[in-house]
Structure 1
Amino acid sequence: MEPLSQSVSADGSVPEGDGPNSTGPTTPSQNTKMLLVHVAGAVQKPGVVSLPEGSRIFQAIDAADGATASADLNGLNLAEVVTDGAKIHVPAVGEASMGGTSQGTGTGIGTGGPAGTSVTPGSGGAKVNINTATVEELGTLPRVGPVMAQRIVDWRKEHGAFASVDELDAIDGIGPKLMESLQDLVTVQGG
C-alpha cells in the first residue's frame, strides 16, 4: 500500500527527505525524543511503533506498514499530532462507532474500544476502570508504561478490587505526581 501522504511543513513546503523523490523520511537526530504509540485495527502490522516527537497519525499508520484495504480512514484525523503512549485504532469499513471523540476531534486515539472514534482517557470521554482494565488498556494512560500497568494488575490480583482511586498510591512507583495525573483519567467500578 502506498504511503498516506507526504509531509508538509507549516509554510506549505515539503521538508528535505520527505518529498516524492526521497528515499524515505529523514532520520531523527540524537536529540529527538521518541514516542511509543500503539497502532491497532485495520493496519498491516498492528502493534507498538516508535516515532519521533511531533509525528502525525498518518505517520503512525505508515509505521504499521499502512492501512489494510478494509480500513475506513475517514473517521480519523490523519493530521493530528500523536502523543506518547496513545493508542490509535484504525476502524474497518462498517465497524461500529463508540460515538465519543478524542481531544474533541474524533481521531480514534484512545482506549474506548474498537471504533475509529474511541476516546482518550481524560478527554471528556470514558475513564479507565482500574478494576477491570487489561495491562494494555492501563498502558495507554499517560506516564503508565507496560511495567507500571502490570504492577497495577498484579496488585489487583493479590489484594482484590480497588475500593478507590487513592489506593493506587500503595503500588510501588506511583507517587504524588503520577497520582495527580491519573485522578481524572481512572475510575473504580465493580470488581
Structure 2
Amino acid sequence: MAEEPVVEEPTASGVGERRWRQAVRERLPLWVQTRCGLEPRSLAALAVVLGVAACAAGGFFWAGRPEQVRAPEVVRVAPVVASPPSVSVSASASAGSGGASAEVVVDVGGKVRRPGVLTLPAGSRVADALRAAGGVRAGADLTGLNRARVLFDGEQVLVGVPAAAAVAGPGGAGTGAGAGVSGGGGVPLSLNTATVEQFDGLPGVGPVLARRLVDHRTEHGGFRSVEELREVDGIGERRYADLQPLVRP
C-alpha cells in the first residue's frame, strides 16, 4: 500500500513571514516588484541602499543648517594721555648740557650783588647765574647780555663791565654786557653776547650775515666754540680764517 505524502502545515512564524512579505509587496512600486522579485536578499539590499541614502541626505541638510554667529567684541580705543608739560632747562639740572657733567662752575662778576665763583646745575642759563649771584644791581646795563644762553663750565659772566676792563676767561675775555668789537683794548668779540651792530663791525660781515649769526645763536642756545661759525650759512673757510682771531665763544 503506497504511502501518502506528508503535507506540512505552515507554522505560525511562516504565516507571519508570508503576511509581512505580502504587505511589503503591496507598498513597493511596480518596477521594484518586477526587478527584485521580492526575494529576501533583494529586499535587504534595497533597504540598505535606502538607509544609506537617507543618512547621506540627513548629513547634507545638517551641515547646511543655519548657525548662530557671535558678533565681534567692540574694541575700545585707549584714552590719549596728555604729555607732561615741558620742564625748563634750569629746573631740570640733572639733564645737563651735552651730558658731560651734572654741574658747571662759572665766575659771575661786575654789577651783581654777590659776585664770585658759583657751582650751578648743568644746563643752567645766564639768568640762573645772575639769580644765584643775588641779582643785578640797579642801573646795570644789560644790553648785549643774552640771559637765555646756556652756560658752559669754566666761563666768566660779567655784568655792566666795559670791554677794555673785561678779564680773560677760558676762551679769551670774559662774557660781559658791553663787550665791544675786537680792537677795543685787544678784546675779542663774544659770539654769545654781541649784537647785530657789533657783528656788522667785523671785517667781511654785513647786516645780513650779522643777522644770521644772531639767529644761529638763538636757535642753538649759543656758540660753544669759535669753530661753530662754520655752521653759519655764508661763512666759508676764507671768512672763517679772518674772523677766528677776532671772536670768542
TM-score range, shorter chain: 0.3 to 0.5
More helix by percentage: 2
Tell me which of the two structures has the higher relative contact order, counting C-alpha pairs closer than 8 angstroms and 6 or more residues apart.
Answer: 1
User: Structure 1 length normalisation: TM-score?
Assistant: 0.38
- Based on CA coordinates, which of the two structures has the bigger radius of gyration? 2
